[in-house]
Structure 1
Amino acid sequence: MTALTIAWTNLRRSLKDRTNAFFFVLFPLLMITVLGIAFGGSYEPRVGVVQPVAGALSGDLVAALEDTEGIDVRRFESRAEAVEAVEEGGLEAAVVVPATYDDRLEGGRDTTVEYLSRSDRSAQQIGMIVRAVVDDQAGRYRVARTLQRELGGEFRPNLVRGDAFAGRVADVAVSTTTVGSAPLPEDLGRFDLGASSQLLLFIFITSMTTAASLIETRRLGVARRMFATPTRVATIVAGEALGRVAIAVVQGLIIMLGAALLFGVSWGNPIAAALMMLLFATVAGGAGMVLGAAATNAQQSIAVGLLAGLGISALGGSMMPLEFYSPTMLTIAHLTPHAWAADGFATLVRHDGTVLDILPQLGVLAVFAAVLFGIGSWALRRRILTG
C-alpha cells in the first residue's frame, strides 16, 4: 500500500460524510454571501425628515438634504414616527423641521432644526453632513436679511437676489490628496473582503475537526493492520499526512472557485493565490495531524478542534480585519499562521501583488507547516508503534 492510496482513502472517506460535505461546500459559500450582503459594497445611512408644514423655505432645506450625497433621505409624517424608526434601527438619524420654520425666518427671527439620533459614531458622521446642509441654508438667509436691512424690501425677493449674486461669485477650489494607500480600496468587490477570511477559517476548522478520522483509524485497528503488511510505518505516516493536506486543499479549491464563479470574487494573481492557499492548507493539515495524534478519542478531538480552530482563527484575523487591531494585538495575531496568510491575500487582492510580493508570508507559512508536520509525524509514528 502506498502513501497516495492512504491519502486518497482519507479524502474519499471525508467527502462521503454528509456533515463534512456541508461544511466543505455550502457553509463557507453561505458565510461569504452573508458577509458580502451585510458589510460589502457601498451603504448610505438612512435619514428621516419630518416637514409638518410644506413651506417654500422648509422645502428648500428638505430638497437640499435629498440632494446631498452620502445619505438616503426618507420622509415621515410626524416626529413620533421618526423617533420610533430611529429607536428601532430603521433610521440612523432624523431631522425635524419646525412648523414655524418659514414664518420665523421671514419675520427675521432665528429658528431651530431638531436632529435626532442614537449615540454612536455613525450618528456623529451623519450629524456633520446634516449640519453642513443646514449651515449652507442659514448662510443664504443671513445674506437675505442683510440685503433686507440695507436695501429694504421683502425677505423672499432679497433671498432670490442674494442667490443670484452668489451664483456670480467664483467658487473656492478645494483639492484633496490621499497620503499613502487606503487599506480597503474603492474598487474592492462586495464579496472580496470576506472571501479570503472565510477561506482561512474553514480550511483550518475542517482540518482540525476531521482529525478525528485519525483516531478512528487507530481505534478500529486499521493502522495496526496496515503495519502488519509490508507497508512501512513511514509510508503510513506519509499517507495520513498527505490525506490531511488533500482534505484542506480540496476545500480550499472549492471555496476559491465557488466564490469566483458565484460572486465574482477576485483572488489576485492566480499562481500566487494558489501557492498561498496550498501552503496554508499544508499548515492546517499539519495542525490537524498534531491534534489527531495527540487526542485520545474522537469526541475530544472534535471538541478541541472546533474550539481551537475558532479561537486561533479569530485571533489571526479571520473574523475581523487585521486593520482594526491595535499594534499590540497585531503583534500577537502574527503568532498565528492566519495573520500571515491574511496579509498575503490582502497584498494579492487589494494591491495587485505577485509571488515576489508575498514571499515573506509564504516563507513563514512554510516554517509553520514544517514544524507542525514534524511534531505530528513524530507523535503519530509513536502512536502507531505503541498501539
Structure 2
Amino acid sequence: MASVRMILAVAGKDLLRLRRDRFGLAFALGFPAAFAVAFFFMLGPGLSESAEAAPPPTITLATGEPGAQAFSRVLIGALLESPVAGFEIRSVDEAAAGAELESGELTGYILFAPDFGEGVFSGAGTRLEVVADSDPQQQAALESFAGSIAQQIQLQSALAAALASLNAPLAAFAEPPSGGVEFSEVDVGRIEPPNPADFTIPGYLVMFVFMAAAFAAAELARERASGTLARMVAAGAAPAQVLFGKFLSAAALGLLQVAVLGLFGVLVFGMDLGLSPLVTILVALLMVLVSSAFAILLASLVRTERAATPAAILAALVAAPLGGCWWPLFITPDWMQSLALITPHGWANTAFNRLMLFGGQFESVAGELIALLGFAAVFAAIAAWRFRTSPLID
C-alpha cells in the first residue's frame, strides 16, 4: 500500500506542476485543436471537389463454385443485372481474378467458396472471402459489400427456420431464390464529401500525445540535473516507483488530451467515431499506453536535459509525418505505407482511418490493436532493462 501511495505521489506531483504551467498545458491541449482547425479548413474545399468527381468503387466478384446454375453464379448474375446503388459490379472467374490481383490490375475481389450454395441451403454455413492487397479503401468497400450479402443470406435463413418452427410450407425455400440476394436502393443525391475532421483530428491527436509524452522524458532529465530525483529516492521512493509514477502522469496527460480533443472534434466539427465508437476509443487508449511507455523509454536513453529536449522534438517530428499524422496514409505510395509500420503512429492512424473513414469494426483493426500492444510491451521492456543496468540518479 505504501508503494502505491508513493507511485501516486510522484504522478500527482507531475500533474500539479503541469496544472501550474499554463504554457505547457496550452501546448498539450490547445495546439492539437489549433492544428486540427487549420487543416480542417484547408482540406475541406479540396475534399468537396474530389468527392463530387469520385467514381463509385468497383466490386469484382469471383466464384469457385462449379456449374452454370450454381447459387453463387445465379447471385452474381442477378447483381450484374440489377446493380447496387453506389457500386460498379463486375464478374470474372477465380483464376482471372487471382491473375489480375497478382499483376496489379486489380486491388481486390470477393470470392465465393466452392461449396457456397451447398453450405447456404444445408445450413452448414459457408464463406465469402475478401482477397485484397494493401489498399484499405478498396478492402473496406469489399468487406462492406460482402457483409451485406452475408447479412441478407442470414436473414433469409432465419426466416426459413422461423417458418419451419411454425410448420409453415417451405416449398418456396426448396430451390435457390431466382433473384439471389435482394438489395434496396436509395437515391441519396449528391455524394457528400468526407469530413476532414475524421482524419485531421485523430492524426494530430496521435502526434501531440506522443510529443507531450516525449517531453515528459525531458522533465525527468531536468529533475535528475536539479537533484529532485535524488531527493525523492532519499525520501524513500524506489527507482521503480518513480518510473511508474512518471508513466502514470504521462498516461493521465494523454487521456486528458484524448478527452478534450475528442469532445472538441465531435461537438464542434461533427467528427464521426465510426460504426464502432467503442473500438475507436480503445485505439485511443492503446495509443496513450504506447506513448506513456515511449516516454519512459526515451527517459532511459537520454541522461541530460540538453540531450532530452532535442531527442523529444526529433522523435515527434520524424515519426508524425512518417506515421500519417500530417496526411492520411492511404493516399501515400505503397513504400511510404510500409515504412509507416515501423512507427506506432502508423498503426494507430491506420486503425483510426479504417474505423472512422471506411466503416471498419473490431475485426478490421485487430492487427493494429495487437501491434500497438506489442509496441507498448517492447518500449516498456527496453526501458526496464535500461534502468536496471543504468542508475536512475547519477
Q: Return the TM-score normalized by structure 1.
A: 0.61
Quick check: 1:288 aligned with 2:311? Answer: no
Report the equivalent of 1:14. Answer: 18
Report the equivalent of 1:58. Answer: none
Q: CA RMSD in A?
A: 2.7
Residues 100-157 of structure 1 deviation map (CA, whole Å, 9 limit, x = unaligned): xxxxxxxxxxxxxxxxxxxxxxxxxxxxxxxxxxxxxxxxxxxxxxxxxxxxxxxxxx
Q: How far is the alpha carbon of 1:346 from its aligned partner?
A: 1.2
Contact 1:237–1:381 (CA under 8 A) maintained in structure 2: no
Given the superposition, is the C-alpha separation of residues 363 and 176 from structure 1 closer, same or farther in structure 2, using an over 3 Å criterion? closer
Report the equivalent of 1:278. Answer: 285
Given the superposition, is the C-alpha separation of residues 271 and 307 from structure 1 closer, same or farther in structure 2, using an over 3 Å criterion? same
Quick check: 1:220 aligned with 2:226? Answer: yes
Quick check: 1:347 aligned with 2:354? Answer: yes
Partner residue of 1:327 out of 315, 320, 334: 334
Quick check: 1:37 aligned with 2:41? Answer: yes
Report the equivalent of 2:307. Answer: 300
Question: For the residues of structure 2 that align with 1:214 and 1:320, how far apart are their CA atoms?
Answer: 32
Given the superposition, is the C-alpha separation of residues 203 and 176 from structure 1 closer, same or farther in structure 2, using an over 3 Å criterion? closer
Report the equivalent of 1:59. Answer: none
Question: For the residues of structure 1 that align with 2:347 and 2:366, how far apart are their CA atoms?
Answer: 11
Q: Which has the larger radius of gyration?
A: 1
Contact 1:271–1:355 (CA under 8 A) maintained in structure 2: no
Q: How far is the alpha carbon of 1:373 from its aligned partner?
A: 1.4
Contact 2:354–2:364 (CA under 8 A) maintained in structure 1: yes
Contact 2:211–2:313 (CA under 8 A) maintained in structure 1: yes
Quick check: 1:264 aligned with 2:288? Answer: no
Question: For the residues of structure 2 that align with 1:385 and 1:206, how far apart are their CA atoms?
Answer: 21
Q: Return the TM-score normalized by structure 2.
A: 0.60
Runs of 4+ in 1 over 6 A off after TM superposition: none
Residues 138-196 of structure 1 deviation map (CA, whole Å, 9 limit, x = unaligned): xxxxxxxxxxxxxxxxxxxxxxxxxxxxxxxxxxxxx9844675689945324222111
Report the equivalent of 1:317. Answer: 324
Q: How far is the alpha carbon of 1:34 from its aligned partner?
A: 1.0
Q: How far is the alpha carbon of 1:384 from its aligned partner?
A: 4.1
Task: Give the length in aligned residue pairs.
Answer: 261
Q: In structure 2, the residue corresponding to 1:240 is in which secondary structure?
A: helix
Quick check: 1:234 aligned with 2:240? Answer: yes
Partner residue of 2:380 out of 369, 373, 376: 373
Q: How far is the alpha carbon of 1:275 from its aligned partner?
A: 1.3
Question: For the residues of structure 2 that align with 1:359 and 1:7, how far apart are their CA atoms?
Answer: 31
Question: For the residues of structure 2 that align with 1:382 and 1:346, how far apart are their CA atoms?
Answer: 40
Q: How far is the alpha carbon of 1:355 from its aligned partner?
A: 3.1
Given the superposition, is the C-alpha separation of residues 223 and 244 from structure 1 closer, same or farther in structure 2, using an over 3 Å criterion? same
Question: For the residues of structure 2 that align with 1:44 and 1:371, how far apart are their CA atoms?
Answer: 43
Q: Which amino acid aligns with 1:193?
A: F
Contact 2:200–2:327 (CA under 8 A) maintained in structure 1: no
Contact 1:211–1:292 (CA under 8 A) maintained in structure 2: yes
- The gaps in structure 2 that reach 5 residues or longer are 54-84, 90-107, 109-136, 142-190
Q: Percent sequence identity over matched residues?
A: 26
Question: For the residues of structure 1 that align with 2:314 and 2:386, how far apart are their CA atoms?
Answer: 21
Q: How far is the alpha carbon of 1:234 from its aligned partner?
A: 2.2
| 1:1-387 equivalences in 2 (<5 Å) | 1-40=5-44, 42-44=47-49, 177-178=87-88, 186=192, 188-268=194-274, 269-385=276-392, 387=394
Contact 2:48–2:192 (CA under 8 A) maintained in structure 1: no
Residues 288-346 of structure 1 deviation map (CA, whole Å, 9 limit, x = unaligned): 22222322322321112112211011111111211122222221111111111111111
Report the equivalent of 2:70. Answer: none
Report the equivalent of 1:170. Answer: none
